[in-house]
Structure 1
């Protein structure tokens, strides 16, 4: 009689998405950028003026990283003076949704830890 055992392969963490989440949470301005975009602020100069402590250099690095990941789309207009706008891509909407779930999970963890300490 043959055994009905099932063999499973080792489950691996999703490397690319895990790196994206780590990189985005590691960038202290990405979540702020998403919030600005959700509120209709999509031009870099306006973003810098809207947030204390945000420099043009750091913002440009943050925006480039997000464009490289496919979270944001950069639209360059052929105008003088030059105009650039950023939008959240369809993939970016999904990604931002995942970040919101992670934030909600953290709130649950914080609440649970608060209850355990009381």
Structure 2
């Protein structure tokens, strides 16, 4: 082998982002939460009331997972009674764009 030859190393999959996509798609309610946020529903109580079958416990688990990934941000207002709202982060906007592209790809596959 001479010095002009290029050596290409083995490319590995993006571990963390692939796991994040898998976890979000594996969560029954994450995509629904994103729809709620896009339609202006930001408070957890309103989310539970808006979706049949969604419990507070499951919603809280879903929101926590999304916060840990950096997709959502929890905003706590210093009021009485306490008020909590959720919003999509800048990173979350990029991530949701990728999910939209995956959905378009699936539609092409199905067609």
Same fold (TM over 0.5): yes
Structure possessing the higher radius of gyration over alpha carbons: 1
- CA shift, 1:3, in A, is 6.9
TM-score by length of 1: 0.90
> For the residues of structure 2 that align with 1:88 and 1:12, how far apart are their CA atoms?
29
TM-score by length of 2: 0.95
The runs of at least 4 aligned residues of structure 1 exceeding 4 Å deviation read none
The alignment of Structure 1 onto Structure 2 pairs a total of residues equal to: 111
Structure 2 segments unaligned to the other structure (5+ residues):
none
Structure 1 segments unaligned to the other structure (5+ residues):
112-118
The equivalences for 1:79-98 within 5 A come to 79-98=79-98
Q: What is the Cα-based RMSD across aligned positions, in Å? A: 1.3
> For the residues of structure 2 that align with 1:17 and 1:85, how far apart are their CA atoms?
25
The equivalences for 1:65-104 within 5 A come to 65-104=65-104
